[in-house]
Structure 1
Amino acid sequence: MGQGSLLEKLRPRLRTVLLIVNLAVLILPLGSLLFFRIYENQLVRQTESELISQGAVLAAVYRQEVLSLRPDLSDYGRKTKPLPTEKLGDYIYVPILPTLDLNAADPLPDRPDGKVMIDRPDETALVAGKILNAIIAEARKSTLAGLKILDHNGVEVAGRAEVGQSFAHVQEVARALDGKYASVIRKREITGPLPSISGLSRSTGIRVFVAYPIIYHDRLLGVAYLSRTPNSILQHIYAQRRTVVLAALTIVGLTLLLALLTSATISRPINRLIRRARRISEGDVEALQPMHRPGTQEMAMLSKSFSDMAISLHDRSEYIRNFASHVSHEFKTPLTSIQGAAELLSEHYDTMSGKERARFISNIQGDTNRLEKLVTRLLELARADSITPSGETTDIAAGLAALKADYNQLRISGSDGTVALSPENFVTVFSNLVENAFHHNADEVTIETELAGDNACFTVRDNGDGISPANRQKIFTPFFTTRRANGGTGLGLGIVQSIVEAHGGTVEVLASDKGAVFKVSLPCPLSMDQK
């Protein structure tokens, strides 16, 4: 496979380029939105992870305080299952991983208020809670988190103003009282208006709650209940502004690449084609060739079609220019002769002898006959150049028999089959070839016929003067003739070529040691139907 063929296959289609550009334009904002969603959910997970760490520390301190106040915990608190543990080398730890997903479900309503209890909380828990109050107050200054310690009944024993209130009815606390870790996302009550840009971040209106069970062996001693609002994605973006700027520049770069892709595959080739059309209109022949690197398959097809059309028009223009030059030359000679003879007759008619007058009149008649023959041939050539296949067919045997009736010297061999050419045009083609042979001193002409695939091939041989190698390339050129002095117009073979090529065939002259040999190939009706 050639490199050109490979490039043709790899060249994208115009609709593919437009589809890629449209999809990219659609994906870029969706990708940004997806990035916001994923990153915001990651911030929620990060908040939960931090609360788990803080809860583990508070749980450890509270557990130690309770143990110092009451060494025997066999009948204290609630019986529960120990938290699952894992071993990492010699180290045993309790793996609690963040599980919240902001995209999985809608946030729960705001946390219910605590219930005022008539009974006093557990004394051991109250004493341990007072010790932790100082720790919680200091931790709150830097973490901005809500920190509470609940006893084994869900009553707050350390925190702020809600000490003594029960939170056992709260969903996540109830689960922690059963000895299981729990975390939820709740809506947050917002006081006062927020900037409009804050609507881009869902974390503005939510709060993460974590209930961490405090367990010693198989006894639940209490619950570390923590909460905090996740970091706003806008704040986090500002904190990571260098990375965000880099990402924005990347998106802008991709957009510019898409614009360049569109320009290179659509706009630029069209502008090049426009400039090429202007160059052609100014007579620049080099602009007739197809464009290099057209971009897309459609542009390549358009460029080639435009080039083919321009070359066809240029060739036609050259043909008409040459044709007009030849016609004017062919007409000028007999017209000049007629004019000269007429002037001599007009000026010296009375002094001329009858023989001289007859000679000049004969010259005028001869030149007039030549002009008439030339006009007839020109009309035949014009019809041949503008001919279109009519769909008629000719039986080869019948067509050659009609020729045989007009030319006794004609010999025929192998005349089976049918060709996609009307009987009139069939006779015109081969009569011109036979006449051309007789005009060049042939006294015998042979037409041999054979079927070759979807074509019928005719070989026309004569025993005349033949064609020199120098003239073989010019014999189909209109007005080229070697017997102009004998009345030749040089249009007969041009008419043959125009008719044959208009019907999808070919005609060529073959090298020959004696006489001339022409090979005519015409399509059969079946092959024309297939085309």
Structure 2
Amino acid sequence: MRMSSGKWRPTLAFVLGGALAGTLAMSFIGLVVLRYWGPVVGFHIAAIVLGSVIALATAILGWLMVRLLMRPIRALQAYADKAETAPQDATPPTHFGTQELRETAWRVVSMAEALRDREASIRGYSDHVTHELKTPVSAIRAAAELLQDGPPMDAETAALVAQIDGARQQIEAQLDALRSMAQARETRYLGHSTLAEIAPGLTALPVTIQGERVPLPMAAEGLTLVLQQMICNAAEAGASALTLTAVPGRLTVADNGPGISPGNAARVFDAYFTTKRAEGGTGVGLAIVRNILGAHHAQIELAQSDQGAVFEITFERA
């Protein structure tokens, strides 16, 4: 929604130019007045009166600068912070100062609304798809169970029914993964935590921690979710131990498993890409990790390694 532009607002150039011109004018006028008025009333009195006038005029200019620049900038900053942490409570600013600040505020508000609408659309679409597919999947499961509980089947028919039931289980797993993907795009875990705080919750593999007291810009719940997912992926890949190394702004996750082949390295973060689909893999673990980290302005990359898989997590707001 575009903000109303009916009220006249000065340009930023006019405000800054007027402030500079006013400052120069006060200095020049002060010199002239002191030069010609000082001998008449005395330089001491003239200096006091002139200083008072200049101080008053400077205060007025300062008030105008605060009203036209500082106040709308701080209001826009407060809106951006609120839109990031609690978008449902974010209220667009109502005071814009200059024309440029009004246009900037409109673009920031429009961007925030577009992002919020996009996330709502993604969540709504995933909910709709999972809801619409729930009924036919349930029918397939009921039919498979009915056939399995019925009269004895020959080997070929039994294998076909098992295949159908396995496909049903894969569909249900993919639907659960779709819901998890959508949730990972919206959930925020704001705050700071250390590896020492979350270490008790990392139980899937033996974990060695280096830099356990280094603060990382993510709440303990979110960091635990990310690392637990990565540890489970490592265990499924055949790793038996994992090392976490934290330095300011960066977290390295390394395992001792077989690693990731060069052919799969480029697709390892793609949603639904998995080499273990036959074992029930959904291929969304690392995609969910990337979405959660992306929501916290962090990036994850697969690093080169001679042994095992090594992931580098970089926090841009460390």
Normalised-by-shorter TM-score class: 0.5 to 0.7
Instruction: Give the unaligned 5+ runs of structure 1.
Output: 1-12, 21-295
Aligned to 2:69: none
Aligned to 1:387: 187
Superposed counterparts of 1:74-473, under 5 Å? 297-298=100-101, 301=104, 304-305=107-108, 308=111, 312=115, 338=141, 341=144, 349-350=150-151, 352=153, 366=166, 369-371=169-171, 373-391=173-191, 393-403=192-202, 406-451=203-248, 455=249, 457-473=250-266
Aligned to 1:152: none
Change in Cα spacing, 1:18 to 1:513, as seen in structure 2 (3 Å) is: closer
Cα displacement (A) at 1:474: 3.4
1:93-133 Cα offsets, whole Å, 9 max, x none, are xxxxxxxxxxxxxxxxxxxxxxxxxxxxxxxxxxxxxxxxx
Give the conservation status (yes or no) of the 8 Å contact 1:334–1:370: no
**Bigger relative CO (Cα 8 Å, ≥ 6 apart):** 2
Once residues 226 and 194 of structure 2 are traced to their aligned partners in structure 1, the CA distance between those partners, rounded to angstroms, is: 15
Give the conservation status (yes or no) of the 8 Å contact 1:14–1:297: no
Change in Cα spacing, 1:427 to 1:368, as seen in structure 2 (3 Å) is: farther
Cα displacement (A) at 1:419: 2.8
Aligned to 2:274: 481
SS at match of 1:394: coil
Larger mean CA deviation between 305-314 and 488-497 belongs to: 305-314
Once residues 418 and 17 of structure 1 are traced to their aligned partners in structure 2, the CA distance between those partners, rounded to angstroms, is: 41
Give the conservation status (yes or no) of the 8 Å contact 1:326–1:479: no
Write the letter of the residue equivalent to 1:418: P
Cα displacement (A) at 1:358: 7.2
Aligned to 1:521: 314
1:37-57 Cα offsets, whole Å, 9 max, x none, are xxxxxxxxxxxxxxxxxxxxx
What is the TM-score normalised by the length of structure 2?
A: 0.53
Once residues 495 and 369 of structure 1 are traced to their aligned partners in structure 2, the CA distance between those partners, rounded to angstroms, is: 20
What is the TM-score normalised by the length of structure 1?
A: 0.34
Once residues 517 and 322 of structure 1 are traced to their aligned partners in structure 2, the CA distance between those partners, rounded to angstroms, is: 34
Give the conservation status (yes or no) of the 8 Å contact 1:323–1:478: no
Once residues 294 and 218 of structure 2 are traced to their aligned partners in structure 1, the CA distance between those partners, rounded to angstroms, is: 11
Give the conservation status (yes or no) of the 8 Å contact 2:241–2:256: yes
1:23-65 Cα offsets, whole Å, 9 max, x none, are xxxxxxxxxxxxxxxxxxxxxxxxxxxxxxxxxxxxxxxxxxx
Write the letter of the residue equivalent to 1:419: L
Cα displacement (A) at 1:429: 0.4
Change in Cα spacing, 1:333 to 1:363, as seen in structure 2 (3 Å) is: farther
Aligned to 1:15: 10
Cα displacement (A) at 1:495: 1.7
SS at match of 1:424: helix
1:484-528 Cα offsets, whole Å, 9 max, x none, are 22211122112212222223322222233443221123478xx5x
Larger mean CA deviation between 433-442 and 380-389 belongs to: 380-389
Give the conservation status (yes or no) of the 8 Å contact 2:122–2:182: no
Aligned-pair identity in percent equals: 26
Give the conservation status (yes or no) of the 8 Å contact 1:385–1:499: yes
Give the conservation status (yes or no) of the 8 Å contact 2:140–2:168: no
Change in Cα spacing, 1:389 to 1:360, as seen in structure 2 (3 Å) is: same
SS at match of 2:288: helix
Higher helix share: 2
Cα displacement (A) at 1:464: 3.0
1:291-312 Cα offsets, whole Å, 9 max, x none, are xxxxx63476367547846974
Write the letter of the residue equivalent to 1:450: V
Tell me which structure has the larger Cα radius of gyration.
1
Give the conservation status (yes or no) of the 8 Å contact 1:331–1:371: no
Write the letter of the residue equivalent to 2:230: L
Aligned to 1:493: 286
Higher strand share: 1
Give the conservation status (yes or no) of the 8 Å contact 1:479–1:491: yes
Write the letter of the residue equivalent to 1:352: M
Change in Cα spacing, 1:480 to 1:339, as seen in structure 2 (3 Å) is: farther
Change in Cα spacing, 1:386 to 1:317, as seen in structure 2 (3 Å) is: closer
Give the conservation status (yes or no) of the 8 Å contact 2:242–2:254: yes
Give the conservation status (yes or no) of the 8 Å contact 1:478–1:494: yes
Write the letter of the residue equivalent to 2:197: A
Paired residues in the alignment total 227
Change in Cα spacing, 1:488 to 1:351, as seen in structure 2 (3 Å) is: closer
Give the conservation status (yes or no) of the 8 Å contact 1:397–1:415: yes
SS at match of 2:189: coil
SS at match of 1:15: coil
Aligned to 1:37: none
Question: C-alpha root-mean-square deviation of aligned residues, in Å?
Answer: 4.6
